[in-house]
Chains A and B, each alone.
Chain A
Amino acid sequence: MILRFTGLLLCLVAWICSSQVTAATPTRTVRDMDGRAVVVPTDVQRIVTLGPVPVLNSLVFALGKGDTIMNGLPPFARTPRHRFQTVFAPLLADRPMVQGPGMDINLEILVHLHPDVVLTMDRGLAQQLERKGFAVLVLAWRERNDFRGTMTLLGEIFGSEATAQEYLDYVENRIGLVTQALRGLADGQRPKVLFWNLKTMTQPHRIADWWIAQAGGKSATDDGRVIESVSFSMEDVLRWNPDIVIVSAPNEVDQVLQDSRLRTVSAIVRKRVYSIPAGAHPWGHRTVEQPLTVLWAANLFHPDRMAHMDLRKEMKLFYERFFHYSLSNRQIDDMLNGLP
């Protein structure tokens, strides 16, 4: 009994001391994408990413701060499809796992890692961790312009405002070039594109409607909806009769080409079924590699107009500049094939 009480007392003292210690370091207040005011240290050396970890990690990689990530990859990201995570940040392989299966957060390990900032996209989780004394930033990547706010925010906390701006300029520039190349494109010249998650019969990410349009296509599922994903049936696919089908994984390409129900669909007839490429994260979703997605898609939809842009060269450039990594030809092939 006495022992337990003493232990508790010591913990209390330690906690007070540690909070005193953090109070001593210089901090600033930033506003996260949820509008919350968060106090973060001016010098951020240790961060933890929670939730869609590969996506969050890739944002950090792009700012050249992959080494600050203190948490290891969660179980769902330890698959061949996510192998570039450890390629871009080798240290990740040895980090302890904070997030278990089923979005389960191990608080003890989190405390042990004593991060300066926690990054997440889950508001509920942010509130929960805030109560425990962590500095949590909620990032968003839903609306088309969210990436601007997110990258700027991250630039701010890492003190890499310049890199962040460089990235944003790059995005602006590349998308501008694509728009330029596609200038004068008539509506009838825009191919109808379906981005399709076969297993759940949905188009899972509204962002796809955007990059398809950016690349000179027309998304079959673009109906101005607000919700993130839309589900549809086989009959809808036949009704839309897309010219191009993009699936989420390489093995789904054959599945689509061999489905007898789809044999009259334009995309299947002309064998224009492709798997979305994947780098640090599959390109079709919200990811820092989005400009590459637009380039790849534009190349696919309008190769004649995009002939002057070498996609492979662009990829090499992008990853070197932002991820500080030189991709081999083999790796580029793998990425473009969707990382089987």
Chain B
Amino acid sequence: MTSRTAIMHGSGSPRGRRWIWVLPPLLVMAAALSMTLGHYAIPLDELLTFPWTAMFGTDGLSDSRYRETQVVLMEIRLPRIIAAMLIGASLGASGTAYQALFRNPLVSPGLLGVLAGSSFGAALAMLLNDHWLVVQISAFAFGLLAVGLAVVIATIYRADSLLLLLLGGIVSSGLFSSLLSIVKYLADPYNQLPSIIFWLMGRLSTVDAGAVKVLAVPMCAGIAALILLSKYLNVLSLGDDEAHSLGINPTRIRIAVILCATFISALTVVLAGAIGWVGLIIPHITRLLVGPDNEVVIPASAALGALFLLLVDDLARNLFPVEIPIGVVTELIGIPVFLLVLHRVRKGWA
């Protein structure tokens, strides 16, 4: 057994799969808990009676206080919580899909360049125009363009080669990272540059409720599509010839998976900037718990990713008086978690 398989070793038994049923209720509880946390202090009794008051009207609570509470809960915290869950789920699912597609556990959603491209698109828009809608559209468009470039590079040389796809992604990421550097260089160092850097670090603090409403459906659809494609991903990991002989078109499946995963990853950047590490470590943890079957791992990674990012965001915004950029927290937490995962796996090597 090679070291790579050792890394993937997990309980593929049905016992492991029962784990995932605990995730949805856990997610709901975490969301409810997150609603109570924040800088704007809401007394516990007001919090508990809020749903009641929302439905049946204020009762003894001053009108302005109620309205403020409503704004904090429904327009600041709730969109943020939903965004955190959507982003976590998208990154978890697309990370898993990429790792299955490339048969490589060290792959992340940014592999084919979507994160580099989106970051560049957003920065470019902030340099030239700065209207929030333009920034979001630009981020999305360039994210897709970057992946398109990677695929084109692979196809020009030889279609259906995973290695070439990977190299295409490296080229594309490199290109858009350099272009991003140029944008940063050209930006006004006193005004534009700080806001570009702020945007790129990944932050849920300025998540736009309107954007969440619009993007929730496509993101869920993308995740659902990946779940539907998961059984084909299993077969794809056996090798193209075997997959072919089992009645599927490997190229078509690959393109479909890349499209869906890229789509939702680009949307996460639009919502909250580039958040790393989630797409890399969540699939590992999920596989450790439930085994390698993608039909289980993809939905489980989505749920676990949502839970993880939600809790991380709670930490980021409540631990200190000043909010820590979420990209920093995911990295700081992600690295020891990853090491722990590796440690558990090391036992399998003995």
Indicate if A touches B (C-beta under 8 A): yes
Known contacts A76-B188, A103-B189, A231-B323; is-contact A236 B198 (Cβ 8 Å): no
Q: Report the bound CA distance from A102 to B38 in whole Å.
A: 37
Q: Report the bound CA distance from A8 to B41 in whole Å.
A: 71
Segment at the B interface, from A133-141, A154-162, A256-264, A305-313: A256-264
Answer whether residue A25 sits at the interface, using C-beta atoms and an 8 A cutoff: no
List of B residues within 8 angstroms of A234 by Cβ: 76, 205-206
Answer whether residue B344 sits at the interface, using C-beta atoms and an 8 A cutoff: no
Answer whether residue A4 sits at the interface, using C-beta atoms and an 8 A cutoff: no
List of B residues within 8 angstroms of A199 by Cβ: 191, 194-195, 198
Contact B71 A263 (CB under 8 A): yes
Answer whether residue A180 sits at the interface, using C-beta atoms and an 8 A cutoff: no
Contact B40 A264 (CB under 8 A): no
Contact B40 A102 (CB under 8 A): no
Contact A232 B322 (CB under 8 A): yes
A298 CB, nearest partner CB in chain B, Å: 27
Give which listed residue, A52, A76, A231, A235, contacts B322 with CB less than 8 A: A231
Known contacts A76-B191, A233-B39; is-contact A238 B322 (Cβ 8 Å): no
Answer whether residue B254 sits at the interface, using C-beta atoms and an 8 A cutoff: no
Contact A235 B72 (CB under 8 A): yes
Answer whether residue A330 sits at the interface, using C-beta atoms and an 8 A cutoff: no
Contact B39 A239 (CB under 8 A): yes
Q: Is the interface of B mostly helix, strand, loop or mixed?
A: helix
Answer whether residue B33 sits at the interface, using C-beta atoms and an 8 A cutoff: no
List of A residues within 8 angstroms of B206 by Cβ: 201, 234
Cβ proximity bits B179-223 to A, threshold 8 Å, 1 near / 0 not = 000001111111110110010000001100100000000000000
B62 CB, nearest partner CB in chain A, Å: 12
List of A residues within 8 angstroms of B38 by Cβ: 235
Answer whether residue A101 sits at the interface, using C-beta atoms and an 8 A cutoff: yes
Q: Report the bound CA distance from A258 to B39 in whole Å.
A: 23
List of B residues within 8 angstroms of A236 by Cβ: 39-40
A9 CB, nearest partner CB in chain B, Å: 37
Give which listed residue, A102, A200, A261, contacts B198 with CB less than 8 A: A200
Give residues of chain B (149-201) contacting chain A, Cβ–Cβ below 8 Å: 184-192, 194-195, 198
Name A81's closest neighbour in chain B (CB-CB): B191
Contact A235 B190 (CB under 8 A): no
Q: Report the bound CA distance from A201 to B67 in whole Å.
A: 23
Contact A264 B64 (CB under 8 A): yes
Known contacts A199-B198, A201-B205, A235-B38; is-contact A264 B67 (Cβ 8 Å): yes
Answer whether residue B68 sits at the interface, using C-beta atoms and an 8 A cutoff: yes
Contact B186 A101 (CB under 8 A): yes
List of B residues within 8 angstroms of A262 by Cβ: 71
A218 CB, nearest partner CB in chain B, Å: 18
List of A residues within 8 angstroms of B317 by Cβ: 233
Cβ-closest 8 pairs across A and B: A76-B188, A199-B195, A102-B185, A235-B40, A235-B39, A239-B40, A261-B75, A200-B198
Given A235-B77, A238-B68, A263-B71, 13 more pairs with CB closer than 8 A: A52-B190, A76-B191, A76-B192, A101-B186, A199-B191, A199-B194, A199-B198, A201-B205, A230-B322, A232-B322, A235-B38, A260-B71, A264-B68
22 contacts between A and B (CB under 8 A): A101-B187, A102-B186, A102-B187, A199-B194, A199-B195, A199-B198, A200-B194, A201-B206, A230-B322, A231-B322, A233-B205, A235-B38, A235-B39, A235-B77, A236-B39, A238-B71, A239-B39, A239-B40, A239-B41, A260-B71, A262-B71, A263-B67
Q: What is A's interface to B at a CB cutoff of 8 Å?
A: 52, 75-76, 79, 101-104, 199-201, 230-236, 238-239, 260-264
Q: What is B's interface to A at a CB cutoff of 8 Å?
A: 38-41, 64, 67-68, 71-72, 75-77, 184-192, 194-195, 198, 205-206, 209, 317, 322-323
